[in-house]
Structure 1
Amino acid sequence: MRLEGKTAIVTGAGSGFGAGIAQAFAREGAAVMVADINAKAAESVASQISGIAQVVDVSDGASVAAMSKAAMDAWGQIDILVNNAGVTHLPTPLEDVSEADFDRVLAVNAKSVYLTAREIVPVMKQAGKGAILNIASTAGVSPRPRLNWYNASKGWMITATKAMAVELAPSGIRVNALNPVAGETPLLKSFMGEDTPEIRAKFLATIPLGRFSTPDDMGNAALYLCSDEASMITGVAMEVDGGRCI
């Protein structure tokens, strides 16, 4: 029960890594808000973990403000924030990515971190404590071709994590990131362009441990970084990638 008595918002928690993180937090005693743009998905995961389902568009300021307010109305405190919601563009030469796709990737992957910080950091500052976890990617460390603007958004997220960590440390707020390699999530097909045995084999050949990241892998890593066991750890972008970035 490492998170007993703590509250956590996990964005993009209706599926994939976010669901794995929400489930791990709930198992360890946290009250969890399952926030997702897909209402049915959020409700499904929330019902499994006795959590709160919240519909949110993390790229929209009013929607993020409503999410924060709902959490405060329910709990009166926000101890943990996981910025997990993310999107990508399809594998495409960088000059051929549409402006609409570029804007969407940066809004969901980057602007969302600013919007959630704007609402939730003041709450954590008032409490004198808090843990923020940004789900970045190995793409921000070791970019793959044809995912250029997705790679860039995750590199932004890693830099934002370190900058936030330095600024917020005096307020008792820790900020870390996780860098997963691709996993069995709704985004996998988008990363690969198409999902065939041949493309999977080629993708897996770049991962020394020979498998994708799983929601459980992410849940366990997130649990550590957001628990008091990691009280001396801030500004870290930890790879959960089976050796992909070596």
Structure 2
Amino acid sequence: MTGERRPLTGATPIGDWLAHPEGGPLIRNLLAESGFDESVLAPVRLLPLRQLVTLSRGALTEEVVDDLVARANGGETPAEEDTGTGWQERIVPGRFADRTVIVTGAASGIGRATASRVAREGGRVVAVDLVAEGLDTLAAELDSSDVVPVPADVTKQADIERVVAAAGDRVDGLANVAGVVDDFTPVHEVSDAMWQRVFAVNVDGLFRLTRAVVPVMLSAGSGSIVNIASESALRGSAAGVAYTASKHAVVGITRSAAFMYGPGIRVNAVAPGGVATGMAAGEMSEFGRRRTADFLTLMPPIATAAQLAASITFLLSDDGVNVSGAVLPSDGGWSVQ
């Protein structure tokens, strides 16, 4: 043991940057210039610094990260290496071999990570999203895998039918990941437009695609469905009324379907806490922001999309053979607070 510090890079966790004698002052000065202190980084302290580029939606640029790295290393830019700390994704070769899995929301975030993992573990993925460009990028990155991009809007019945047609005669798994957030509005402020938009995607789209897929699974006598709920399905203090109600509805659909179609078809839900996807509420209700602020500070460090994909693919695969009707909190322990 030499006691030498690893050089700071874009792959170094934010917490390590803050603890470093050169890196810490650089990060704190950068935050101070924007009127923040290091407390705003508490939920992301386990993530690589470079991931803030995506999370900040361009407020922090790649060039700024590169400059921080050079300044922390005396003008040099060391190669980015796996730090060897924290969680590492471990692919299970062949886990989804000869399986067809539909994944919605597959162009970005949790859906993309789930589609990627299923494909890299040997599955045929029907990747569904509104954003055709994102699906094409996913398919190009996984060019040695079997990925079928289907640009589709899950709120439209005609698009649901196209998705099922693209899957063909066999659907072994369905991951209902597509979703939208609300703006933290409480019930006395929420508009009809916000309520209808959130329910159209988070509930109606999930319901319609599940309804279309279940007959195929019933014919085969087997299948696995994983719905994405949320921390908001477990408490009332993590979002506005529209999103909270929609995710409670997802849990209801999950439990009803698990009862109706078991044991041949397994139906489960995953309830993520904070996840590094860049999915944000935009302009928030001031009432909702004030009311939830203290509770949201209790949120554990946020997860990566790949970590959520690990939870989802466990339930989708035969590894979850004896699990149905479960709502799995994948939230770093937030739900037990």
TM-score, normalising length from structure 1?
0.89
Residue ranges of structure 1 left out of the alignment (5+ in a row): none
- TM alignment of 1:1-246, pairs within 5 A: 1-49=94-142, 50=145, 51-72=147-168, 76-144=169-237, 147-170=240-263, 172-187=264-279, 189-190=280-281, 193=284, 205-207=297-299, 210-246=300-336
Q: Is the 8 A contact 1:12 1:18 kept in 2?
A: yes
2:224 aligned counterpart, secondary structure: strand
Report how far residue 97 of structure 1 moved: 1.7
Q: Which whole-Å CA distance do the structure 2 matches of 1:5 and 1:160 have between them? A: 28
Q: Which whole-Å CA distance do the structure 2 matches of 1:117 and 1:107 have between them? A: 14
Residue ranges of structure 2 left out of the alignment (5+ in a row): 1-93
Q: Which string of whole-angstrom CA distances, capped at 9 and with x for unpartnered residues, describes residues 70-97 of structure 1? A: 111xxx3111000000012212232222
Greater percentage in helix: 1
1:150 aligned counterpart, secondary structure: helix
Q: Is the 8 A contact 1:22 1:32 kept in 2?
A: yes
Q: Which string of whole-angstrom CA distances, capped at 9 and with x for unpartnered residues, describes residues 96-138 of structure 1? A: 2211111010110011122112211011111111000001101
Aligned residues: 234
* Closer, same or farther: CA 192–162 of 1 in aligned 2, 3 Å: farther
Amino acid at match of 1:45: L
Q: Which whole-Å CA distance do the structure 1 matches of 2:329 and 2:239 have between them? A: 21
Quick one: percent identity of the two aligned structures?
34
**Higher relative contact order, chain-length normalized (CA < 8 Å, sep 6+):** 1
Q: Which string of whole-angstrom CA distances, capped at 9 and with x for unpartnered residues, describes residues 12-42 of structure 1? A: 0100010111111112111111100111111
* Structure 1 runs (4+) greater than 3 angstroms displaced: 191-194, 201-205
Amino acid at match of 1:32: V
Report how far residue 238 of structure 1 moved: 0.1
1:19 aligned counterpart, secondary structure: helix
Report how far residue 142 of structure 1 moved: 1.4
* Closer, same or farther: CA 119–184 of 1 in aligned 2, 3 Å: same
Q: Which whole-Å CA distance do the structure 2 matches of 1:120 and 1:163 have between them? A: 16
Amino acid at match of 1:185: T
Amino acid at match of 2:327: A
Alignment RMSD: 2.0
TM-score, normalising length from structure 2?
0.66
1:94 aligned counterpart, secondary structure: coil
